[in-house]
Amino acid sequence: MDYLDLLNESQRKAVLHTKGPAMIIAGAGSGKTRVLTYRIAQLIAQGVDPFNILALTFTNKAAKEMRHRIEKVIGNEAKNIWMGTFHSVFSRILRAEAEKIGYPKSFTIYDTDDSKTLIRNIVKEMNLDDKLYKPNVVLSRISSAKNKLISVKQYINDPVIQADDEAAMRPKIGKIYETYQNRCFKAGAMDFDDLLFQTNVLFKDHPDALNKYQNIFHYVMVDEYQDTNYSQYLITRKLAAKNQNIVVVGDDAQSIYAFRGADIQNILNFERDYPELEVFKLEQNYRSTQNIVHAANSVIKHNQAQLRKEVFTDNEQGPLIEVVKANSDNEEGKLVATTIFEEKMSNHLSYDDFAILYRTNAQSRAMEEALRRMNIKYKIIGGLSFYQRKEIKDLIAYLRLTVNPNDEQALRRVINYPKRGIGETTEAKLFVTADETNHTVWEVVQNAGSFLGNRVGAAIENFSIKIKDFARMAAQQDAFEVAKHVAKHSGIVDELYADKTVEGLARYENIQELLNGIKEYVDDPEKEDKSLSAFLQDIALITDADTKADEDGEFVTLMTIHSAKGLEFKNVFIVGMEENLFPSQMMLNSRADLEEERRLFYVAITRAEKKLYLTYATSRYQWGNLRACEKSRFLDEIDPKYLNFKYGDNGASGGGNIFDRVLQRKSNLVAPAPRKQVASNYTPPADFKPSDTSNLAAGMKVEHPKFGFGVVSKMDTQGNSTKAIINFDEVGEKTLLLSFAKLKIHS
């Protein structure tokens, strides 16, 4: 079937427009990914070389999904499109052009923790008050400056900026910014904001580089344009200046990232930049029921700054939106959990069909407690990601040093881990000596005997020899072989293996899982560059949205509304609909702030496909004190004909809604008792020796050095990894990865 036949009229017009600037205003659930996909396919069908197409997204997940869809239409040529996040595409360009702006091609990408650690060290070195100059506050200020393309020199010389810092009692932020940038440059490192800031520097200072990429990118497409900041806006405008074939896709009603520097004016004023602009509106929602779509429309119409559109749907009318008032946040949690349980049982649903959305992470506590009491499994999106775990960051630091020995933050992290007799005082001397002698820290490390004396220098020089050995191997071997070697010879694996606690075992298994991930990366036929440097760049560019790993089993999803953008669920609970919570008290200082909060509510509403629940409490604990709450003004902005109130100010509900049934049956509803967690006291015999588990099968009896005896209930093979689900006599069911589990098979 021709892919154009799958589009409605508005979508088809947007796809067939292939010349000149265009803006596609895509309402929630209106099929924008399909339009972007088919538009690229249409360009290629008309003879455009995929190498001349640039498509920018905000998550790797979105880029991957789009590329996969294009492949289905046009085949392997889709692999040649320049497609990815802003940061991944422009880091790729910077790798090629880095030396023009004084950076090594193998520059390190600092994550937020690296940046905060560096700032913390600078504040300490400058003898500043660390309560005033908190790393997250300083980093936010620096990040905001970079996103507005304000250099160190401009920052220090701008009287308005300096006055703001003086008023905030932080007059030294400019000096910290200067030191921070100098240290990053010396370490051959860029933070996330630098990837865009330095791209702008490259294009401004090197017109030949800009001209090169203008000639490569004949067509530029930007997804989620409402989320772009000034730096991203300027890059895309420059790249499209020659051919003028720029298409942006977005929805001003879903612009919710001003706190990250996103500027809604980029989309509101796009026509000003391109007077000959063609505008296409995708207004048909394919996701949600009529009641949900109409309710969302009735909310967003209260915003003054917007591109007018009227989203509609041909879907079923659906049930009314439930609005419920609880007496406390704990009661709110119990009501939500019980409702989920009731709905699941009554309608044969999966827990995966439910999401609980909240304005702040702190609200998850009452929800989690209530779900645990009902023995309902849940997962929180936005918790500690795999790559933020200490043991993972430790090994990654070694790998980063292997590729870029000037990486100061990686060096600090592992120079005495595992312990090798290099104390804090000696470590501090390294950095002071580097500053005083105008050498890099790595130069001092390599010649520590000369700089610090032979007594303390020997251990440091031995460390440098180890890193050099890793680097030699990295120049010849793929990422997995190097990482495996580094994990073993750095001492990390031995250190973790020696820790026989449950936590130690988990850390050890996490290292093994990282090595698994690197092996999968190397074995991926789509990855042309198998080097350690390429792998490190790949993981450095993982976004929050990309770390939402799939897990086995059914889970209710808990997350902030910001994290929910781009997702959809059959049943959605938006909790905490109270003044000063949603809208947030921090967002009531201006109309622009309030309108952003309203857009956030619009995003939350439009995550729901079938059923939507809005809950609020009349009292809530805050900082240990119980305070009275009033319902959110946003509830009053929804046309009441789309709502069904329970305990609300509009009187009794219409009856028969899920909350009525829950409350009526609550006393009779018996939740399954949570399984008691039992700690294992098992001690393996002295002659315990793991068996070859390559032929392990369900039904076999096994022995584990920590969990004792058990029976294999199921084997699960996915890709190159095999898991065994085992029912242990003492601790119950455990899922173990066979490549790391130490199991003795008993006949």
Q: Which residue has the higher pLDDT, 623 or 369?
A: 369
Residues 396 and 482 placed together within one structural domain of the fold: yes
Residue from 619, 576, 582 nearest 597 by CA:
582
Residues 485 and 530 placed together within one structural domain of the fold: yes
User: Could you give the CA distance from residue 240 to residue 233 in angstroms, rounded to a whole number?
Assistant: 11
Give the tens place of pLDDT for each residue, 44-76.
988 999 999 999 988 887 888 888 888 888 888
Give the tens place of pLDDT for each residue, 596-623.
999 999 999 999 999 999 999 998 866 4
549 annotated to bind ligand: no
In a domain, 41, yes or no: yes
168 annotated to bind ligand: no
735 annotated to bind ligand: no
Residues 367 and 403 placed together within one structural domain of the fold: no
Q: Which of 12, 32, 170, 519 is catalytic?
A: 32
Find out whether 67 and 29 touch, Cβ atoms under 8 Å. no
Annotate 570-634 with three-state secondary structure: EEEEECCCECEECCEHHHCCCHHHHHHHHHHHHHHHCCEEEEEEEEEECEEEECCEEEECCECHH
Q: What is the mean pLDDT of residues 569-576?
A: 96
Say what the pLDDT of residue 622 is: 61
Looking at the DSSP bridge assignments, the partners of residue 722 are 717
- pLDDT level of residue 719 (50, 70, 90 thresholds): low
26 annotated to bind ligand: yes
In a domain, 456, yes or no: yes
Say what the pLDDT of residue 95 is: 92
- Residue 708 belongs to what domain range? 679-746
Q: Catalytic residue at 568?
A: no
pTM above 0.85, yes or no: no
Which of 536, 565, 590 terminates a domain? The answer is 536
Least confident of 123-132, 314-323, 712-721: 712-721
Q: Catalytic residue at 223?
A: yes
Give the tens place of pLDDT for each residue, 159-173.
999 999 999 999 999
Total structural domains within the chain = 5
Residues 558 and 477 placed together within one structural domain of the fold: no
Q: Which of 232, 254, 363, 560 is catalytic?
A: 254
Q: Catalytic residue at 254?
A: yes
User: Could you give the CA distance from residue 697 to residue 494 in angstroms, rounded to a whole number?
Assistant: 30
Q: Which of 97, 191, 224, 227 is catalytic?
A: 224
Say what the pLDDT of residue 177 is: 97
Who's near 394: CB < 8 A, 6+ residues apart?
413, 414, 417, 492
167 annotated to bind ligand: no
Task: Tell me the average pLDDT of the chain.
Answer: 86
100 annotated to bind ligand: no
Q: Which of 111, 223, 343, 353 is catalytic?
A: 223
27 annotated to bind ligand: yes
Torsional sign, CA 267, 271, 274, 278: positive
Task: Note the Cα 470 to chain centre separation in Å.
Answer: 30
710 annotated to bind ligand: no
Residue 284: DSSP 8-state: B
Q: What is the mean pLDDT of residues 319-324?
A: 94
CA separation, residue 175 to residues 122, 171, 181, 182, 435 (Å): 10, 8, 10, 11, 16
Say what the pLDDT of residue 671 is: 40
Say what the pLDDT of residue 680 is: 57
Find out whether 280 and 17 touch, Cβ atoms under 8 Å. yes
Residue 325: DSSP 8-state: E
Task: Note the Cα 435 to chain centre separation in Å.
Answer: 36
CATH number reported for the structural domain that contains residue 642 in this entry: 3.40.50.300
Which of 140, 163, 187 terminates a domain? The answer is 187
CATH number reported for the structural domain that contains residue 416 in this entry: 1.10.486.10
Give the tens place of pLDDT for each residue, 463-507.
999 999 999 999 999 999 999 999 999 999 888 888 777 677 778
Give the tens place of pLDDT for each residue, 120-161.
999 999 999 988 999 989 999 999 999 999 999 999 999 999
CATH number reported for the structural domain that contains residue 710 in this entry: 2.40.10
Q: Which residue has the higher pLDDT, 505 or 360?
A: 360
User: Could you give the CA distance from residue 596 to residue 591 in angstroms, rounded to a whole number?
Assistant: 9
pLDDT above 80: residue 720: no
Residues 138 and 57 placed together within one structural domain of the fold: no
List the strands of the sheet with 219-222, edge to edge.
82-85, 53-57, 219-222, 246-250, 22-26, 278-282
Q: Which of 13, 18, 33, 554 is catalytic?
A: 33
Place of tokens 């899922």: 735
Residues 214 and 339 placed together within one structural domain of the fold: no
Percent share of the chain, pLDDT over 90: 49
Which of 510, 536, 562 terminates a domain? The answer is 536
- pLDDT level of residue 652 (50, 70, 90 thresholds): very low
Give the tens place of pLDDT for each residue, 252-310.
888 778 777 778 888 888 888 888 889 999 999 999 999 999 999 999 999 987 888 88
Question: H or E stretch including 23?
Answer: strand 22-26
User: Could you give the CA distance from residue 659 to residue 339 in angstroms, rounded to a whole number?
Assistant: 7
User: Could you give the CA distance from residue 535 to residue 477 in angstroms, rounded to a whole number?
Assistant: 13
Residue from 217, 221, 218 nearest 36 by CA:
221
Supply 15's token pair: 């796809």
Task: Note the Cα 633 to chain centre separation in Å.
Answer: 30
pLDDT above 60: residue 584: yes
Residue 673: DSSP 8-state: P
In a domain, 143, yes or no: yes
Say what the pLDDT of residue 284 is: 92
Q: What is the mean pLDDT of residues 408-433?
A: 89
Percent share of the chain, pLDDT over 70: 91
Q: Catalytic residue at 92?
A: no
Least confident of 194-198, 383-387, 550-554, 651-655: 651-655
